[in-house]
Amino acid sequence: MQFDTAERTMWELVQTYTGRVGYQRGVKSEGLSADPPVIDCSGWTRLLLANAMQAENEAAGHPVFAPSDVEALQAWSDRIIQEIEVRTGFVLEGEEITFHSLPRCATIGLKLGKPSWANNYPRRRGITHVVQVVRRPEDSAPFVSESFGGAVLPGVSLTPLEEWLVQAEPQLRAGEIWAVDPFRLASKN
């Protein structure tokens, strides 16, 4: 099934916010109204997916994606991965994840260390970060869009998928990365 409207919607959001929005843990889409604008990884991924799914529903004129599935993505990074996995029955783990095995617009969760804040908020599989694969409309080239805090250029960024997978090599080898396919949620309807 093609999701051209959903993919285009995510790309438009990426073009609007990449490099213009900072990172702040615990802040969801409401942070885009702040001065300066900020959002965390799960807020960003949820914003991309929810807008894409709603746009696809509107273009089709009927619910391609059930409202309950879209609503379930209003969650932390580990829960987004869990909700999609449970609802679709599909997940790739660790070295199963390659450039060619990933679903077209995969959502990817990673275990990135053991941050102190996770002590109070235990995470399934230890997932502390989530990213979204998006496609450039003119050539379908895959990129990873994420909101990430760090010393260098924190916030919403865009990285070619191949380059991002090289950076994620430690998590791939350690089996601390999981990929799900949010667009498989459409097959339920």
Predicted pLDDT of residue 119: 54
- Measured CA to CA, the distance from residue 87 to residue 102 in angstroms comes to 18
Q: Which residue spans within 61-136 are E strands per DSSP?
A: 92-93, 107-110, 129-135
Segment 16-53, tens digit of pLDDT: 999 999 999 888 999 999 999 999 999 999 999 999 99
Quickly state the pLDDT bin for 188 (edges 50, 70, 90): low
Single-letter residue type at 161: L
CA neighbours closer than 13 Å in the CB half-sphere of residue 189: 17
Segment 133-158, tens digit of pLDDT: 999 999 999 999 999 986 556 799 99
The pTM for the full model equals 0.92
Quickly state the pLDDT bin for 116 (edges 50, 70, 90): low
**Both tokens assigned to 129:** 């970060």
For tokens 């959002």, name the residue.
Answer: 39
For the chain, the straight-line distance linking the first and the last C-alpha, in angstroms and rounded, comes to 12
Single-letter residue type at 28: K
CA-wise closest residue to 26 among 150, 160, 121 = 121
Predicted pLDDT of residue 95: 95
